[in-house]
Structure 1
Amino acid sequence: MTMDFSLLMLILLLVTAVVWLLDRVFFRRRRPAHAQEPWPVEWSRSFFPVILVVFLIRSFVVEPFKIPSGSMIPTLLVGDFLLVNKFVYGLRLPVINTRLTQGSPLERGDVIVFRYPEDPSKDYIKRVVGLPGDTVAYANKQIIINGKPVSTELLGDFSYITEQGYILDTQKYREQLGRHRHDILVIPESGMQDMEPVTVPPGRYFVMGDNRDNSNDSRFWGFVPDDNIVGKAMLIWWSWDSLETRVRWQRLGEAIP
């Protein structure tokens, strides 16, 4: 398991703070007046403010996130870089993730980043489909919440190049989840099985990718605990198409529906 980046930042913050503080309190007065500052002290004094600002912003305001797979196509593309709102659902202490403030409740249709329940060292991004207490089913390529099919509208055929380099033909639908109106993809003839109704437990969420037949989500590994939630995906700040080696300028600054 790789070290959590927040933990690494915290360690660097503490080390630079301790080195700088010990020098100010004990060692500086013992050095000759014109002696050169030792390099560990110089580095700590220079980097501590930078690390502190980055740590506070990343822990309590926004965190960058890169889309690594196609599970959220067409909403998010491989190579999109996002800003994730860390405070909308309540402030949490970094590393231990203890909630400090209540914040706004998650809404059905929110796109969230969370620590993968089966391997918390990995961050996943999906759309919230089921809230605590909801009964969720999936049948005939359509989500059913509390016995009611979610509204969808066929937009037409949609093809894209996969990460493996082949063209995949799908159909694009527009879906309404709560107040969120967004596009999804389905493969009409795929072998994706229907899912029997499940009830979302308290403190848990049912999530799915917008690329419905190419998403590893709650249909396969279960619910996302509230403690695993990192934040809400806000907007795309950078987008790089590795297949065509170009910037997708039209996506920059795009809000996530």
Structure 2
Amino acid sequence: MSKSKNKVPFKTRLYAFLIPLFLGLVSAVLVKYYVFTPVHVPNQFMEPTLKNGSTAYFNRLFRSKQLGIGDIVLVRSPLDSESVFIARIVGKPGDTIHVQKRMVFRNGSLLDPSSFPESASSDIPLIPQGKTETDDMPKLTVPEKSFFLLADNRELGVDSRTLGVVQESHVIATLW
């Protein structure tokens, strides 16, 4: 009677299974929270681009020099470091920005309205106190290492019109 030639101990087989499984789970968690960050959209500030209640994925691996006009970013609030908000970049350092009757002007030129979607519905939800449907803003020059951000739903959104320009260091991630 012959014995099995290459019997592998149970402990070795268990390690051969558990170690790759553990490394895979740790890698998945690290990628999910430190590379691609899932963010629950809690409000209507970016509608129609990002719907209220949906989940958006943001890429934390970016360079601020690569950020461009129209990019959607996740930003730490300049007023409260615990709060974050989502907005679209409309002004980079040195740009002059002003808003007139919902139209955005960058360096005297109208930004392409199709780059900044508007809701198909003409119904504007309850407008917060102090805001109007047009919400005009005088000219402002964006300082170095800063961005001017606007929410797509400008009637409801919190953005650079309220918070001021956002420092480059406050940008956490870009929409993936």
Query: Could you say whether these structures have the same fold, taking a TM-score greater than 0.5 normalized by the shorter chain as the test?
Result: yes
Letter in 2 for 1:221: L
- Structure 2 length-normalised TM: 0.73
Q: Distance in 1 between matches of 2:37 and 2:170?
A: 15
SS in structure 2 opposite 1:55?
helix
1:200 pairs with one of 142, 146, 163: 142
SS in structure 1 opposite 2:169?
helix
- What corresponds to 2:71 in structure 1? 110
The structure, 1 or 2, with the larger RCO (C-alpha pairs under 8 Å, 6+ apart) is: 2
Determine whether 1:63 maps to 2:37. yes
2:46 pairs with one of 72, 88, 111: 72
Gaps of 5+ in 1: 1-44, 90-102, 160-167, 171-189, 235-257
Letter in 2 for 1:152: P
Q: Distance in 1 between matches of 2:94 and 2:28?
A: 39
- Structure 1 length-normalised TM: 0.52
Letter in 1 for 2:93: P
- C-alpha deviation, 1:134, in angstroms: 0.5
SS in structure 2 opposite 1:220?
helix
Gaps of 5+ in 2: 1-18, 125-131
Alpha-carbon distance change, 225 to 169 in structure 1, aligned in 2, over 3 angstroms? same
Determine whether 1:214 maps to 2:156. yes
Letter in 2 for 1:200: V
Q: Which structure: greater strand fraction?
A: 1
Matches within 5 A, 1:113-192: 113-152=74-113, 158-159=120-121, 169-170=123-124, 190-192=132-134
Give aligned pairs, total.
148
Q: Do the aligned residues in 1 keep the contact of 2:146 with 2:168 (CA within 8 Å)?
A: yes
Q: Distance in 1 between matches of 2:66 and 2:147?
A: 12
Q: Could you list the per-position Cα deviations for residues 159-215 of structure 1 after superposition, in whole angstroms to 9, with x for gaps in the alignment?
A: 3xxxxxxxx715xxxxxxxxxxxxxxxxxxx45431000011111100001112111
SS in structure 1 opposite 2:75?
strand
What RMSD over aligned residues (CA atoms) do the two structures have, in Å? 2.8
Letter in 2 for 1:105: Q
Q: Distance in 2 between matches of 1:157 and 1:226?
A: 29
Q: Do the aligned residues in 1 keep the contact of 2:135 with 2:155 (CA within 8 Å)?
A: no
1:228 pairs with one of 165, 170, 173: 170
- C-alpha deviation, 1:104, in angstroms: 4.9
Q: Distance in 2 between matches of 1:156 and 1:54?
A: 36
SS in structure 2 opposite 1:205?
strand
Runs of 4+ in structure 1 deviating by more than 6 angstroms, as ranges, are none
Alpha-carbon distance change, 65 to 157 in structure 1, aligned in 2, over 3 angstroms? closer
